[in-house]
Amino acid sequence: MNANGQTADVPVEAVLRTPPKRSVWVDAWKRLKRQRAAMVGGSLVALFIVIGLLAPVLAPYDPTAQDLSHHLQPASAQHWLGTDEAGRDELSRLLYGARISLTIGFFSVVSSLIVGALLGLVAGFFGGWADVLISRVFDVMLAFPSILLAIAIVAILGPGLFNALLAVAIINVPTYGRLIRSRVLSVKQEEYVLACRALGMSNARLLFRHVLPNSWAPLIVQATLGIGTAILDAAALGFLGLGAQPPSPEWGKMLSDAKDYISNAPWIVAAPGIAIALSVLGFNLFGDGLRDALDPKMK
């Protein structure tokens, strides 16, 4: 209504126009950017990823080249982080170790996520004997400490980098399986899922088009946190001699080789230890921030 008391003509388009809906992920990213701890964690994660990808360019020396005449040397202009017991450049081995540790972390989490998600989908959606069987297998696996189960798997398969990756992937399957199962049990009771059932939609289409996409958020958060745990588990296996084998520059193996020289050459222990701590810290901080950003209660 205008100043003269007459009704103003409003275009129909203006009445019907509704503000565009923003994506859930866009809103989550905006909330994530406001969390300083998460941004610090994300920066650490990005730094280690860049280091791993550019290791051949950044490393000043061959990480496996030995020079016994310059072993256990402290930091210098030629070797910024010193040399180890075999005269190998510590900085080069640390940079290449980032590639190995991140590879184990990413691929083990992706593998366990795929297998666990599929098993959890079947258990939660179909229920019955499938749910009982899968849930009992998960319970048995979770009854053992994860690192003890990983050691047992590697002891059966034999030491090696691939077997360590496989063991870390196997021990994390129940975590993702139980998480997706609990989420599916909730989602399948939603009205839109019941409507799709009433319309005769197939189980496969219902699972992968509606149930799984609405169950991804907690899985992504857990996967982000799980990468840090996987790096730590792989380092533990490497420290015990069950992971990467010499002369592979894996952080856990570097710690194992350096433990006998901690008193007279502490730098060869400090470098891989700090790298493991910072990488795990980065993924944990970023995962915690991502969890809060994707939580609808935090809006």
| The pLDDT value given to residue 108 | 93
Band (293; pLDDT cuts 50, 70, 90): confident
CATH number at residue 183: 1.10.3720.10
Q: State whether residue 253 is helix, strand or coil.
A: helix
| The pLDDT value given to residue 187 | 83
Number of C-beta neighbours around residue 76 at 10 A: 11
Band (111; pLDDT cuts 50, 70, 90): very high
Q: State whether residue 190 is helix, strand or coil.
A: coil
Task: Report whether pLDDT(217) > 90.
Answer: no
| The pLDDT value given to residue 116 | 93
CA dist 97 and 271 (Å) reads 11
Q: What ranges make up the beta strands (E) of the chain?
A: none
Per the prediction, the chain carries an average pLDDT of 85
**Can you tell me the mean pLDDT for 212-225?**
83
Does residue 77 sit within a domain? no
Does residue 98 sit within a domain? yes
Domain count, the chain: 1
Task: Report whether pLDDT(133) > 90.
Answer: yes
CA dist 96 and 56 (Å) reads 8
Does residue 18 sit within a domain? no
Q: Which of 231, 232, 216 is nearest to 290 (CA)?
A: 216
CA dist 228 and 235 (Å) reads 11
Does residue 72 sit within a domain? no
Tokens 């126009």, located at residue: 17
**What would the two tokens of residue 176 be?**
């993702």
Task: Report whether pLDDT(72) > 70.
Answer: yes
pTM of the model: 0.83
| The pLDDT value given to residue 211 | 81
Angle at 148 between CA 143 and CA 151, to 5 degrees: 135
Angle at 203 between CA 200 and CA 207, to 5 degrees: 120
Does residue 124 sit within a domain? yes
Does residue 25 sit within a domain? no
Longest dimension (CA), the chain: 98
| The pLDDT value given to residue 80 | 92
Per-residue pLDDT of 238-257, as tens digits, reads 998 888 888 888 999 899 88
CA dihedral 183, 111, 210, 297 (to 10 degrees): 40
Band (298; pLDDT cuts 50, 70, 90): low
Most confident of 171-175, 214-218, 288-292: 171-175
**Can you tell me the mean pLDDT for 110-127?**
91
Number of C-beta neighbours around residue 8 at 10 A: 7
Per-residue pLDDT of 4-54, as tens digits, reads 555 555 454 444 454 455 566 677 778 878 888 889 999 999 999 999 999
Does residue 73 sit within a domain? no
Q: Which of 254, 228, 226, 240 is nearest to 153 (CA)?
A: 240
Per-residue pLDDT of 162-210, as tens digits, reads 999 999 999 999 999 999 998 888 888 888 777 887 888 887 788 778 7
What residue numbers bound the domain in which 229 lies? Answer: 34-64+82-298
Does residue 75 sit within a domain? no
Task: Report whether pLDDT(296) > 70.
Answer: no
Task: Report whether pLDDT(232) > 50.
Answer: yes
**Can you tell me the mean pLDDT for 137-161?**
91
Higher pLDDT, 26 or 66: 66
